[in-house]
């Protein structure tokens, strides 16, 4: 491959035999230098193509980063609440009215396949009043075992115990206590005068005394109620304010290293072996984590596909630059061919230009994509960690797209007839 006196990287007197000897690193350095010189000659078009590849690469990396950060955040929240939980609910999909869960089922399940704590929960909803403030919230009848099962932490006071029985005591979720201000309505501000331990609440026409306030927590999908926004009362006393409320679910905690599949089967067998079989649905935290991880993986792939479309648009820009370059450099290509350059040398020259353009855009897009993903994660309050596949996938796709869209112009240039190319400008 012989360069023209004005634009090439090789002297005009270089013949094919000498060029054949100039292989190796020296030849590739010359090709890259020649490609950079040619791209600088059409810097405006090159810059537009480079931006197109950069934006597409940035979209791929940013979407992969955001999708991975969202997955890590969701799974991290779930794991923080415990991966050893089981939730048991009546199977409403069965024909007829499902048989209710009973408080005695909690004690009967203890010790079955590694269950160390079981807590019954009955949920209803009603209005709470604290002074002039009123709000409708979930009210859950629970036992003292729920604190150990759900790993509840108290911000103030204490949790319910087995000795409270039918006492008019209530424990407030941290979110409910914060929002239930004393100004006659919901108050989301930090200065709201919410209820404190020892205060009285009006609940279902009865006066309840606040004995504890939970620390604020995230919702747990396995629990039938968001404890952060609920009022918890002793389960036996729930009939005082909601006589027709039956058990909503049983929540159990497994011993460490217990196989959740065997635990689920043991719980299902307990309800199937009773004198009157009661079909139930048993879900484990690990089961839900696996399903959530699989769902997040699908979302991440969809986001990457959207970014790939943007990258293809950038590849069209690379092809446009290369095609225009072939048209404008017909005479140069003809001179190179006439002086001994082979078609594959011309093909390689244009493919190197496309590679340089796409690699430059890929590096720019990688930096932009990492910055965009980091800013989004920080603004959402998520920990940021770029997935291992993001960098090689983003850069690899940018170079691959550049080469694929650069093949057509390179083939067109390599197939030019030297005589026809030298006749026209």
Identify whether 107 is part of a domain: yes
pLDDT digits (tens, 9 = 90+) for 186-205: 443 344 567 889 999 998 88
pLDDT for the residue 233: 95
pLDDT digits (tens, 9 = 90+) for 156-178: 999 999 888 888 999 999 889 88
Query: Does 223 share its domain with 119?
Result: yes
Tell me: do 203 and 250 sit in the same domain.
yes
Q: Which of 251, 278, 305 is the last residue in one of the domains?
A: 278
Q: Which of 12-21, 189-198, 275-284 has the lowest mean pLDDT?
A: 12-21
Does residue 183 sit in the same domain as residue 108? yes
Lookup: tokens for 113: 């396949």
Q: Which residues contact 376 (CB under 8 A, 6 or more apart)?
A: 62, 65, 66, 69
Tell me the pLDDT tens digit for each residue of 71-127: 777 777 666 667 788 899 888 766 556 667 888 888 888 877 788 889 999 999 998
State the pLDDT at residue 290: 79
- State yes or no: pLDDT of 22 exceeds 70: no
The total number of structural domains in the chain stands at: 2
- pLDDT of 150 higher than 60: yes
pTM, two decimal places: 0.63
- Last residue of a domain, which of 278, 308, 323? 278
Residue 168 lies in a domain: yes
pLDDT at 188: 39
Distance between CA 414 and CA 216 in Å, rounded? 69
**Amino acid 2: pLDDT:** 39
Contact (CB, 8 A) for 416 and 329: no
Residues 131 and 260 in one domain: yes
pLDDT of 333 over the 90 cut = no
Beta carbons within 10 angstroms of residue 267's beta carbon: 23
What pLDDT score does 139 carry? 94
85, 267 Cβ separation under 8 angstroms: no
Question: Which percentage of the chain shows pLDDT scores above 70?
Answer: 86
pLDDT in tens, 230-268: 999 999 888 888 877 788 899 999 888 888 888 888 888
> Residue 74: CB partners within 8 Å, gap ≥ 6?
292, 296
Say whether both 263 and 305 belong to one domain. Answer: no
- Among the candidates 217, 246, 278, a domain finishes at 278
| DSSP class per residue in 5-51 | TTT-SS-TT--HHHHHHS-SHHHHHHHHHHHHHHHHHTHHHHHHHHH
User: What b/e string do you get for 270-304 counting C-beta neighbours within 10 Å, with b at 16 or more?
Assistant: bbeeeeeebebbbbbbbbbeeeeeeebeeebeebb
d(C-alpha 350, C-alpha 355), whole Å? 9
Asked whether residue 250 falls in the same domain as residue 114, the answer is yes
Are residue 125 and residue 271 in the same domain, yes or no?
yes
**CA of 318: how far to CAs of 53, 199, 371, in Å?**
8, 71, 24
Judge whether 187 lies within some domain.
Answer: yes
Domain coverage including residue 230: 99-278
Does 162 share its domain with 274? yes
CA distances from 131 to 173, 230, 239, 366 (A): 18, 18, 24, 57
Inside any domain, residue 14: no
Give the pLDDT confidence of 375-400 residue by residue, as tens digits: 888 888 787 777 777 778 778 888 88
Q: What is the mean pLDDT of the chain?
A: 79
Instruction: Output the pLDDT for position 425.
Output: 54
Same domain, 151 and 264: yes
pLDDT of residue 260: 83
More confident residue, 186 or 374: 374
Same-domain pairing of 268 and 307:
no
81 within a domain of the structure (yes/no):
no
For residues 23-45, give the mean pLDDT: 70
Which pair of structure tokens corresponds to residue 229?
Answer: 């926004």
Pairwise pLDDT comparison (167 vs 419), residue with the higher score: 167
Does 390 lie in the same domain as 299?
yes
In a domain, 165, yes or no: yes
Do 189 and 43 lie in a common domain?
Answer: no
Residue 3 is assigned to a structural domain of this protein: no
What is the rounded distance in angstroms from the CA atom of residue 224 to the CA atom of residue 245? 14
pLDDT of residue 96: 59
Tokens of 236: 């036996």
Given CA atoms 261, 263, 268, 274 in this order, what sign does their dihedral have?
positive
Residue 399 covered by a domain:
yes
């Amino acid at each position: 491959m012989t360069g023209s006196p004005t634009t090439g990287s090789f002297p005009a007197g270089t013949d094919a035999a000498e060029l054949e000897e100039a292989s190796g690193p020296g030849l590739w350095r010359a090709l890259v230098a020649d490609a950079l010189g040619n791209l600088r000659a059409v810097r405006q078009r090159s810059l537009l193509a480079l931006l197109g590849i950069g934006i597409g690469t940035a979209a791929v990396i940013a979407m992969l980063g955001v999708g991975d950060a969202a997955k890590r955040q969701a799974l991290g929240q779930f794991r923080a609440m415990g991966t050893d939980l089981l939730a048991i609910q009546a199977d409403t999909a069965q024909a007829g009215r499902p048989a209710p869960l009973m408080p005695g089922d909690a004690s009967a399940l203890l010790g079955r396949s590694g269950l160390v704590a079981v807590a019954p929960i009955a949920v209803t909803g009603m209005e709470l009043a604290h002074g002039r403030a009123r709000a409708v919230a979930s009210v859950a009848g629970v036992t003292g075992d729920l604190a150990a099962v759900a790993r509840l932490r108290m911000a103030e006071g204490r949790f319910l115990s087995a000795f409270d029985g039918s006492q008019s005591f209530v424990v407030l979720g941290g979110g409910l206590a914060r929002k239930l201000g004393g100004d006659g309505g919901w108050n989301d501000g930090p200065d709201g005068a919410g209820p404190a331990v020892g205060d009285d609440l009006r609940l279902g026409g009865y006066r309840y005394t606040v004995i504890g306030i939970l620390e604020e927590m995230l919702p747990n999908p396995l629990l039938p109620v968001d404890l952060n926004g609920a009022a918890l009362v002793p389960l036996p006393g729930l009939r005082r304010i909601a006589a027709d409320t039956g058990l909503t679910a049983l929540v159990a905690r497994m011993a460490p290293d217990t196989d959740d599949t065997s635990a689920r089967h043991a719980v299902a067998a307990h309800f199937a072996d009773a004198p009157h079989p009661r079909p139930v649905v048993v879900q484990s935290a690990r089961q839900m984590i696996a399903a959530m991880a699989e769902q997040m993986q699908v979302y991440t792939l969809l986001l990457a596909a959207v970014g790939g479309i943007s990258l293809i648009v950038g590849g069209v820009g690379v092809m446009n630059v290369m095609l225009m370059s072939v048209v404008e450099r017909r005479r140069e290509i003809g001179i190179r061919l006439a002086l001994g350059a082979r078609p594959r040398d011309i093909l390689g020259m244009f493919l190197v230009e496309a590679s340089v353009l796409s690699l430059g855009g890929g590096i720019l897009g990688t930096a932009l994509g990492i910055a965009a993903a980091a800013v989004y994660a920080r603004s959402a309050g998520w920990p940021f960690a770029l997935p291992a596949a993001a960098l090689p996938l983003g850069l690899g796709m940018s170079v691959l797209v550049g080469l694929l869209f650069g093949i057509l112009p390179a083939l067109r240039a390599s197939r030019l007839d030297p005589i026809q190319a030298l006749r026209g400008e």
